[in-house]
Structure 1
């Protein structure tokens, strides 16, 4: 990896509030993170934190990280990562958790956040492990848009037959 590639990955990751992580399993997921000591660091997996299940992120495994541009919001760089799970209360874990605590918004238990993370969550380090797959000047030609995941929640349904009559009658009755 060139120095320019490393600088692009680092700066884009530092400035972006979210990254998209694709593990060996499942669709990519947006995750909040911090850039620390040459890698993206994330926390999750507990009931009060971002979900990591379904991604298949394992210690020693790999992932693909997509980072968006802060000003335009479009995909800026996509890079392969090596996953390292940090052991709770180790020296590196304590340093990373100190950084993550500063970025964690609205934690219900901020004073005891580190203890809860040690008990219930996983702290992962995603370190660049090769040249970027996509970067400025080397982006795919197609949109890369993914189809939405199936869900029972919807806002698009047929309007009930009597609804327009009901709405217009109400408007006339109120003098509108």
Structure 2
């Protein structure tokens, strides 16, 4: 299975991935697969220390059913201003209540 297909399938079941920045511990974050990239909103209750525009990160995907490791894939974080449709999808993916974020990153797989 192609990496993009694996991410898409997993995020349809559990809208979360682990994101790690070099020399920092990975963080579990609510995420969205859209337009061939992983979208992550940070701020409020969801932080990824060290993630800045242009940062090289690693996205780790675990099985939504068994929680076993599925894959690690490198990505580049791009600070973006999401459109209204993406904002609505990010809010829907944040399952623990209201989403209060300050930044949105598009993680482009490399």
Into which bin does the TM-score normalised by the smaller protein fall? Answer: 0.7 to 0.9
Q: 2:63 aligns with which of 56, 69, 76?
A: 69
CA radius of gyration, larger in: 1
- 2:54 matched residue in structure 1: 60
**Structure 1 runs of 4+ off > 3 angstroms?**
none
- 1:95 matched residue in structure 2: 85
Judging by fraction of residues, say which structure has more helix.
1
Does the 8 Å CA contact 2:15/2:93 hold for their aligned counterparts?
no
Q: Which has the higher contact order (CA 8 A, sep 6+)?
A: 2
Report the CA distance shift for 1:66/1:60 in structure 2 as closer, same or farther (over 3 A): same
Q: 2:79 aligns with which of 75, 85, 89?
A: 85
Q: Which runs of 5+ in 2 are unaligned?
A: none
**TM-score, normalised on structure 1?**
0.55
Does the 8 Å CA contact 1:23/1:57 hold for their aligned counterparts?
yes
Q: How many residues align?
A: 109
